[in-house]
């Protein structure tokens, strides 16, 4: 069975400082990994995805994530936080066993950005 | 930019009542999904739908739940007899294939 652990429920940063949101996954089969973001009263928006191509994945709004199989991690980073990045972030996995149609979500990390 | 829409944004109902949550997926998408998020908990998969039938469902998706694509645009989730524990945010999603799922803004269901 696949699962995702987001190690921090809340992360606070100052505007202009780096962002690191941590995610570890468990999957018995070839996983696809995603980061979704949810702004208040909005739907879930895909930031980036890993699907067995390059291990360093670049997404929208300056975010990127690195797939590390040896560490079963897929941490999300951004060099410099912006106030508009404040939102909830979800790490998500799907795998070949589930037919890649079933997404398994982490509990989410709330990113707080202060001026 | 095309997007998934959901109505209503907030639904309040009495325990035991039937509710129908509505979704309009992106028009050229063929795969449709429902997820839910109970307050403070993870987003959980409920069901996926393709070619007018359920392709996968989770343990949560019991006989009280049903899905339907009544016409070419809507995708609905029906809960026949709501329970207090059905209170949650329900998200609809759609995709072209087994790739990026596009999510709607959600319907907050409150069962009293």
Least confident piece of the model among A57-61, A77-81, A94-98, B51-55: A94-98
Q: For residues A68 and A52, which has the higher predicted lDDT (pLDDT)? A: A68
Q: What is the pLDDT of residue A99?
A: 59
pLDDT tens per residue, range A93-103 = 987 666 567 88
- The sign of the CA dihedral A90, A96, A98, A100 is positive
Query: Does A43 contact B98 at a Cβ distance shorter than 8 Å?
Result: no
Show residues of chain A in contact with B43, CB under 8 Å.
44, 90, 103, 105, 108
pLDDT tens per residue, range B49-92 = 998 999 989 999 999 999 999 887 899 999 999 999 999 999 99
pLDDT band at B93 (very low <50, low <70, confident <90, very high): very high
Which residue from B41, B55, B103 is facing A44, i.e. has the nearest CB? B103
HEC assignment per residue over chain A? CCEEEECCCEEEEECCCCEEECEEEECCCCEEEEEEEECCCCCEEEEEEECCCCCEEECHHHCEEEEECCCCEEEEEECCCCHHHCEEEEEEEEEHHHCCCCCEECCCEEEEEEC
Q: What is the pLDDT of residue B59?
A: 92
- The sign of the CA dihedral A10, B88, B64, B103 is negative
Query: Does A103 contact B4 at a Cβ distance shorter than 8 Å?
Result: no
CB A59 within 8 A of CB A21: no
Cα gap A7→A5, rounded to integer Å:
6
Q: Tokens in use for A12?
A: 């606070």
Q: Which of A38, A39, A44 to mutate to test the interface with B (most CBs of B within 10 A)?
A: A44
């Amino acid at each position: 069975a696949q699962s995702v652990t987001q190690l921090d429920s809340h992360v606070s940063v100052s505007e202009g400082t780096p962002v690191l949101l941590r995610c570890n996954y468990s999957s018995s089969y070839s996983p696809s990994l995603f980061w979704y973001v949810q702004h208040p009263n909005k739907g879930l928006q895909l930031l980036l995805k890993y699907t067995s191509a390059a291990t360093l994945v670049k997404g929208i709004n300056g975010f990127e994530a690195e797939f590390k199989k040896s560490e079963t991690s897929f941490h999300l980073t951004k060099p410099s936080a912006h106030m508009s990045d404040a939102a909830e972030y979800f790490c998500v996995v799907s795998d070949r066993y589930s037919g890649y149609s079933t997404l398994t979500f982490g509990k989410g990390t709330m990113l707080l950005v202060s001026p | 930019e095309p997007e998934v829409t959901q109505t209503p944004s907030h639904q309040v109902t009495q325990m035991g009542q039937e509710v129908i949550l509505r979704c309009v997926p992106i028009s050229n998408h063929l795969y449709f999904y429902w997820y839910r998020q109970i307050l403070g908990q993870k987003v959980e998969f409920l069901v996926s739908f393709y070619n007018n039938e359920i392709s996968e469902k989770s343990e949560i998706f019991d006989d009280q739940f049903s899905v339907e694509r009544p016409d070419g645009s809507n995708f609905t989730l029906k809960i026949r007899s709501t329970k207090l524990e059905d209170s949650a945010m329900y998200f609809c999603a759609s995709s072209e294939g087994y790739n990026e799922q596009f999510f709607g803004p959600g319907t907050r269901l409150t069962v009293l």
